[in-house]
Amino acid sequence: MKPFIIQSIRLTLVLTVLLCVIYPVSIMLIGKASKGAGNGETIIVNGKVVGYANIGQSFTKPQYFWGRPSAVAYNAAGSGGSNKGPSNPDYLKDVSNRIDTLLKYHPYLKRSDIPSDLVTASGSGLDPDISPDAAKVQVERVAKYRKLDENKVATLLNNSIEKPLWGVFGPSKVNVLKLNIALDQLK
Amino acid sequence: MNTELFGIVASFVLTLVIAIPLGKYLAKMYAGEKIWTDFLKPLETGIYKLSGINPKEPMNWKQFLKAMMTINILWLVYGFFVLLYQDKLPLNPDGNPGQSADLAFNTIISFVVNCNLQHYSGETGATYLTQHFIFMFLHFTSAATGMATAVAVFKAFKDKTTTDLGNFWEFFVKSITRVLLPLSIVVAIILTFNGTPSSYAGKDKFISLQGDTVNVSRGPAAAMIAIKHIGTNGGGWFGANSAHPLENPNYLTNMVEVIAQVILPVAMVLAFGYYIRRKKLAWIIFGVMTIGVFMLMIPTLTSELGGNPLIAKMGVSQLTGAMEGKEVRFGPTATAYWSTMTTVISTGSVNGMHDSTMALTGLWQLLAMMINSLYGGCGVGVLNYFIYLIIAVFISGLMVGRTPEFLGHKVEAREVKIAAIITLLSPFLILAGTAISTYVFTNHLGADWAVKPSSWLNNPGHHGFSEMLYEYTSSNANNGSGFEGLGDGNIFWNVTTGIVLIMGRFLPIIGPVAIAGLLAQKKYIPESAGTLKIDTKTFGLMTFAVILVLNALSYFPALALGPLAEYFSMLK
């Protein structure tokens, strides 16, 4: 038994150096060559960081495209979903209220036009994207509040749609932050 | 055929393309044959020398298990204290507090046993030091423990009669240097170049486009997320696990992560066949497992892609499927595929919240973890399946009236008893745990714990029951995913699941090694016309039936009270 204990302690020490120091530090050094140097990719507008490319942020003002509901209010110091079950009555009420709010701001929409990602919370609470449909239904409202030509906003949106990976794998999507930055720059 | 469906088909095909050669590689590597990674030998020799290990020393099954248990117990003790005092140790840029005793108890057990239940949140409950020196360290070593133990069972059936199951240290170290570490380096590099942070910088702060002040948790996550999948651990850096946009930034990383977690469990099955020179047996096992996986995956896909019927009633469009708890960049199809893979295999990482999936999806997730050997965890999947094989051999033997044999060794009372105990253990732990928690919930609503039983459940009714059932099922399977709405950060859940975790890990590891050790010592009986051949489709079907019957008998009542009842209540 005793030799096993000593071997265990020594092996743990040796592996700690290999797995917890050499391995992650090498990855950190290699990561310096990546976008954002391994700190996460930020987006800079007018010399100021306005957000992380991959992290969604809260948009509530009517002149912006809105992202998805978030269980953590887009506070990226944490993360998480609502964890509401599909039959939970409180949850279904929340969804119903979100639909009503959307209809209030978009009186031109029918219920069947509303894509469900706009009324359901994401898994991380930090989802940076919405589906192309979810962006399209907001075009008229955004154009109205910005006093812009609707076609101009629609074209901007079309150019912002990110296609599936290599054109074949996964869904199309729109990064809400990037779209809104482009929108701010539209004159 | 749409792009979302293409994505998962490609993921599965790529998994096989990688896993098949990997299986051959593992067999050769563990057997000590010449192989291209032999250039790593000096590294291994260095590790053995510094640790005072002689990797050529033979071990019988008892010595093998002693070595394995000794080092695992060491990690339990050492990790417990580091977690307790993590606030006083370096590498804590966000100033997070130390863990309470019951939380540290639960956390360290769950990482040592390759489960990663995570009753804390990575952003606030751990430091960079504990994330790397405890969690990531155990990601490697718990996976290597499982793999090394599986190889001991392989070795028992390679030779005709033997007491030597190989050297635990050698299998263990080689699992890390020749498999886990190289694969993790590849995955970590892909992740960091796609946006996962890898530097040691702490929390960042910025002012958003709308003018809100936002804090962002970061940290050296890429290295840990790589091994969390390669080693089928599942314990993530951030609270939202692989749904977090820094932990899993895009569809490419999503494919990489979901492939990474399946390759080793599949490769280990194939390695078994190549190692004992019975390729056909391995392919039959693989076939049975794959059929099982598809039987779980296809209904999961249909139930998720159909959307939530109660939301459909509100009139909104659910074009791609149910979106609650899911991320737009993956979509419901990839999330459904992931949810099947992460539960059949004991990873338990998630790219969408299981608590919010449809009622029947929850049923398939639970069943996948209850069976726990359709591919199964890294190394331990094969071991769990081995128990089902022994039971199937025993029952078939009774049916044809012969002494049951397994690969040329008589299976007698002692081995069958061990297999029966292991088989009964899972339902016992899961159902007893759920029964106790249900009792506490209904009778001691106001008990003075950090989370009072009255506020344990995030959802009422049947779904609330499923939350408790899921927690124990996940603990016993060493899976680690959860119906995360459950208020599990208190002494009741920390202690009870801690006990389930440790029993659900070590007994199903010790059992198969003991059986293999006992069988291997027995006289080898050459195959004759009267031998029950186990590498046939018929026997594959027999094993499948055994798995189905055992699990249906054990769990149907509990499943009927939870997900099934919820499903039918939603049909109204």
Among the residue ranges A92-101, A173-182, B90-99, B426-435, the one predicted with the least confidence is B90-99
pTM: 0.94
- Hey, are the CB atoms on A116 and B52 less than 8 Å from each other? no
Specify whether A124 is located in the same domain as A81. yes
A160 and chain B: CB distance < 8 Å anywhere? no
**Distance (Å) from the C-alpha of residue A161 to the closest C-alpha of chain B?**
12
Pairing of strands A173-175, B409-410: unpaired
- Hey, are the CB atoms on A88 and B459 less than 8 Å from each other? yes
B455 and chain A: CB distance < 8 Å anywhere? no
- Cβ atoms of B45 and B156 closer than 8 Å: no
Specify whether A78 is located in the same domain as A103. yes
Of B67, B45, B65, B63, the C-alpha closest to B54 is B45
> Residue A60 domain-assigned?
yes
Q: B168-206: b or e for each residue (b if 16 or more CB lie within 10 Å)?
A: bbbbbbbbbbbbbbebbbebbbbbbbbbbbbbbbeebeb
Residue matched to tokens 């996986």: B293
Mean of pLDDT values over A92-108: 93
> Residue A45 domain-assigned?
no
The confidence score (pLDDT) of residue B103 equals 93
Q: Is the dihedral of CA A99, A104, A106, A107 positive or negative?
A: positive
Q: Which two tokens stand for residue A145?
A: 């509040």
A132 and chain B: CB distance < 8 Å anywhere? no
Residue matched to tokens 């749904």: B243
> Residue A46 domain-assigned?
no
For residue B42, pLDDT beyond 70: yes
> How would you write A109-156 as a 3-class SS string?
CCHHHCEHHHCCCCCCCCCCEECHHHHHCCHHHHHHHHCCCHHHHHHH
In percent, how much of chain B has pLDDT > 90? 73
Confidence class of residue A118 from pLDDT cuts 50, 70 and 90?
very high
Confidence class of residue B198 from pLDDT cuts 50, 70 and 90?
very high
Specify whether A9 is located in the same domain as A87. no
Confidence class of residue B527 from pLDDT cuts 50, 70 and 90?
confident
- Hey, are the CB atoms on A20 and B136 less than 8 Å from each other? yes
B201 and chain A: CB distance < 8 Å anywhere? yes
B68 and chain A: CB distance < 8 Å anywhere? no
Specify whether A81 is located in the same domain as A7. no
**Residues of chain A with C-beta less than 8 angstroms from the C-beta of B484:** 80-81, 83
**Distance (Å) from the C-alpha of residue B94 to the closest C-alpha of chain A?**
10
Mean of pLDDT values over B323-337: 94
For residue A165, pLDDT beyond 80: yes
- Residues B174 and B181: their CA atoms lie apart, in Å, by 10
Q: What are phi and psi of A61, to 5 degrees?
A: -70, 145
User: How many domains, in total, are found in chain A?
Assistant: 2
- Hey, are the CB atoms on A39 and B136 less than 8 Å from each other? no
Q: What are phi and psi of B358, to 5 degrees?
A: -65, 160
User: What's the distance, CA B561 to chain centroid?
Assistant: 25
Domain that holds residue B318: 3-571
Give the three-class secondary structure for A50: strand
A130 and chain B: CB distance < 8 Å anywhere? yes
- Residues B344 and B329: their CA atoms lie apart, in Å, by 24
- Cβ atoms of B292 and B544 closer than 8 Å: yes
**Distance (Å) from the C-alpha of residue B266 to the closest C-alpha of chain A?**
23
Mean of pLDDT values over A144-150: 91
Q: Which two tokens stand for residue B446?
A: 């106001």
- Work out the number of other CB atoms within 10 angstroms of the CB of residue B46: 12
Give the three-class secondary structure for B536: coil
In percent, how much of chain B has pLDDT > 70? 100
For residue B562, pLDDT beyond 70: yes
- Work out the number of other CB atoms within 10 angstroms of the CB of residue B57: 14
A181 and chain B: CB distance < 8 Å anywhere? yes
Query: What integer best gives the mean pLDDT of chain A?
Result: 92
Specify whether A65 is located in the same domain as A149. yes
- Hey, are the CB atoms on A55 and B245 less than 8 Å from each other? yes
For residue B236, pLDDT beyond 90: no
**Distance (Å) from the C-alpha of residue B498 to the closest C-alpha of chain A?**
23
Contact residues, A window 107-126, toward B, CB-based 8 Å cutoff: 111-117, 119-126
> Residue A168 domain-assigned?
yes
Q: Report pLDDT digits (tens) over B481-504.
A: 989 888 888 889 999 999 999 999
Q: Report pLDDT digits (tens) over B125-184.
A: 889 999 999 999 999 999 999 999 999 999 999 888 888 899 999 999 999 999 999 999
- Hey, are the CB atoms on A7 and B51 less than 8 Å from each other? yes
B524 and chain A: CB distance < 8 Å anywhere? no
Mean of pLDDT values over B191-220: 90
Q: Which residues contact B434 (CB under 8 A, 6 or more apart)?
A: B465, B468, B469, B472, B558
Give the three-class secondary structure for A31: helix
The confidence score (pLDDT) of residue B447 equals 80
- Residues B565 and B359: their CA atoms lie apart, in Å, by 9
Specify whether A9 is located in the same domain as A65. no
Specify whether A19 is located in the same domain as A66. no
The confidence score (pLDDT) of residue B187 equals 96
The confidence score (pLDDT) of residue B124 equals 87
> Residue A18 domain-assigned?
yes
Specify whether A136 is located in the same domain as A179. yes
- Cβ atoms of B195 and B216 closer than 8 Å: no
Specify whether A88 is located in the same domain as A117. yes
Confidence class of residue B229 from pLDDT cuts 50, 70 and 90?
very high
B485 and chain A: CB distance < 8 Å anywhere? yes
The confidence score (pLDDT) of residue B108 equals 94
Q: Report pLDDT digits (tens) over B345-390.
A: 999 999 999 999 999 999 999 999 999 999 988 889 999 999 999 9
Q: What are phi and psi of B229, to 5 degrees?
A: -90, -45
In B354-512, beta strands by DSSP E = 405-406, 409-410
- Residues A96 and A132: their CA atoms lie apart, in Å, by 22
Q: Please, which residues bridge with residue B204 across strands?
A: B216
User: How many domains, in total, are found in chain B?
Assistant: 1
Element (H, E) at B373: none
Mean of pLDDT values over B16-36: 95
A155 and chain B: CB distance < 8 Å anywhere? no
Specify whether A15 is located in the same domain as A80. no
Angle between helices B61-84 and B168-175 (to 10 degrees): 50
**Residues of chain B with C-beta less than 8 angstroms from the C-beta of A125:** 240
Query: What integer best gives the mean pLDDT of chain B?
Result: 92
Element (H, E) at B469: helix B461-476
Pairing of strands B405-406, B409-410: antiparallel
**Residues of chain B with C-beta less than 8 angstroms from the C-beta of A31:** 192-193, 197-199, 222
Domain that holds residue A29: 1-39
**Distance (Å) from the C-alpha of residue B405 to the closest C-alpha of chain A?**
34
- Cβ atoms of B512 and B388 closer than 8 Å: no
- Cβ atoms of A67 and A55 closer than 8 Å: no
A86, A115, A168: residue with CB nearest B317: A115
